[in-house]
């Protein structure tokens, strides 16, 4: 088999890149390790920057998001049992869109099906060969048969544990990482959200977040120890702990219910450099991870897709290699800014083991300054809304 671009990974970044390329007449084959049902069952974040919203419209998959997505023009930060609002519209004349990643992925699947573009699920033992040559190829097992695809380029959209990043030789790759000493216990429930906008709460017992997927589907998180497991947290225990950490008015009005999904996610900051080796390009979690505090994971993958799509389009339209040559530098410049913001939000709002009284007072002072300073709020809003591509 031969194609122009092999995309490894069938999550939203791989699907979005494939959709954009196919619409430009650039042929792709998409390889996914899991079944379609597994991919669509994954619960992920759903806060979309304007850049990603525009990119989805460019890809022709923005209609349902435009109709069903919730536009948020601010967030609430809470500390010392009081909250204050960061007004995105007033500060930066912007907004984010809340639209579940599962729904976004479903839209992209339907669009790829409609184009008849090749996509293979439950692919195993993927190997990348010749990425540093002019004739790269991808070998894999599908339906019990060994197969090979020859191609011009390979896009590694296969996540943190995928094969793509580790294909780059260790002596050509640098990695930067911080693993945080806590996780997020998340609960999805068929209940109305406690607030029309997200509430980020800093509390002496730990961080909490009140979020949503739709007017009838809520997503809540609390900071927990890394040693915790889901089985030790009943629904009642989760709701009681969440209520302790959020402002009293929110705790009194929250509607609780049975959890649809419950999981614990560890937090880390991670960046691999470079994001290109020969004709292999890394996108999304294959190259970088951010803690979810800044709502940047999916949005950062989207900016990677934008730079790579633009570079490949220039190559195939005009034989111009500048876009693909500059891909890694352009993507990483934005990656590190988003890493900084996510790191700063995580440090601001969480309780860390071994924090001294001085550390705690500094967190409190930062929050109070943010509450009183329009300049500080503007900087936060600018980053939360998303820096330009």
Tell me if residue 384 is catalytic. yes
Q: Which of 109, 180, 292, 307 is catalytic?
A: 292
Task: Compute the distance between CA of residue 214 and CA of residue 298 in angstroms, rounded to an integer.
Answer: 18
> Of 100, 44, 48, whose CA–CA distance to 265 is shortest?
44
Q: Longest C-alpha distance within the chain, in Å?
A: 63
Q: Which residues pair with 280 in a beta bridge?
A: 154, 277
Encoded tokens for 200? 């980020």
User: In the 8-state DSSP scheme, what is residue 2?
Assistant: B
Tell me if residue 357 is catalytic. no
Half-sphere exposure of residue 83, counting CA atoms within 13 Å on the CB side? 24
Tell me if residue 350 is catalytic. no
Q: Which helix (H) or strand (E) holds 277?
A: strand 276-277
Q: Which residues pair with 219 in a beta bridge?
A: 188, 211
Tell me if residue 129 is catalytic. no
> Of 164, 211, 173, 131, whose CA–CA distance to 8 is shortest?
164
Which string of DSSP letters, residue by residue, matches 117-148?
-EEE-S-EEEEEE-TTSSS-EEEEEETTEEEE
Q: Which of 200, 306, 315, 327 is catalytic?
A: 200
Q: Which helix (H) or strand (E) holds 292?
A: none
Sheet harboring 70-72: ordered strands across? 47-48, 96-98, 70-72
Helix (H, G, I), strand (E, B) or coil at 220: strand
Task: Compute the distance between CA of residue 103 and CA of residue 131 in angstroms, rounded to an integer.
Answer: 33
Task: Compute the distance between CA of residue 232 and CA of residue 365 in angstroms, rounded to an integer.
Answer: 35
Q: Which residues pair with 83 in a beta bridge?
A: 78
Q: Which of 193, 296, 327, 350 is catalytic?
A: 296
CB under 8 Å to 355, separation ≥6 — which residues?
A: none
Tell me if residue 109 is catalytic. no
What residues are labeled active site? 72, 200, 292, 296, 384
């Amino acid at each position: 088999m031969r194609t122009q671009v092999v995309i490894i990974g069938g999550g939203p970044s791989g699907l979005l890149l494939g959709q954009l390329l196919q619409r430009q007449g650039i042929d792709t084959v998409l390889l996914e390790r899991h079944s379609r049902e597994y991919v669509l069952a994954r619960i992920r974040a759903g806060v979309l920057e304007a850049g990603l919203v525009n990119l989805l419209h460019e890809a022709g998959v923005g209609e349902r998001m435009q109709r069903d997505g919730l536009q948020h023009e601010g967030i609430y930060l809470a500390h010392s049992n009081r909250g204050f609002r960061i007004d995105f519209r007033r500060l930066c004349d912007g907004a984010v869109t809340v639209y579940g990643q599962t729904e976004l992925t479903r839209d992209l699947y339907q669009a790829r099906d409609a184009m008849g573009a090749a996509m293979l699920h439950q692919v195993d033992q993927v190997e990348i060969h010749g990425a540093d040559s002019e004739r790269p190829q991808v070998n894999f097992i599908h339906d019990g048969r060994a197969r090979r695809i020859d191609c011009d380029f390979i896009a590694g959209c296969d996540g943190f544990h995928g094969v793509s990043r580790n294909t780059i030789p260790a002596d050509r790759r640098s990695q930067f990482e911080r693993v945080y000493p806590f996780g997020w216990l998340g609960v999805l429930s068929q209940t109305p959200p406690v607030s029309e906008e997200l509430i980020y709460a800093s509390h002496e017992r730990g961080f909490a977040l009140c979020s949503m997927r739709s007017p009838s589907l809520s997503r809540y998180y609390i900071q927990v120890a890394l040693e915790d497991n889901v089985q030790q947290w009943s629904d009642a225990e989760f709701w009681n702990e969440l209520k302790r950490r959020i402002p009293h008015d929110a705790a009194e009005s929250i509607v609780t219910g049975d959890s649809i999904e419950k999981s614990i996610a560890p937090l880390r900051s991670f960046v691999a450099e470079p994001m290109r080796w020969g004709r292999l390009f890394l996108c999304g979690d294959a190259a970088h991870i951010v803690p979810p505090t800044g709502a940047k994971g999916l949005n950062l993958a989207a900016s990677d897709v934008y730079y790579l799509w633009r570079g490949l389009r220039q190559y195939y339209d005009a034989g111009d290699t500048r876009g693909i040559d500059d891909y890694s530098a352009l993507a990483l410049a934005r990656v590190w800014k988003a890493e900084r913001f996510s790191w700063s939000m995580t440090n601001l709002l969480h309780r860390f083991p071994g924090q001294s009284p001085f550390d705690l007072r500094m967190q409190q002072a930062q929050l109070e300054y943010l509450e009183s300073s329009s300049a500080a709020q503007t900087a936060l809003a600018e980053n939360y809304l998303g820096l330009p591509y």
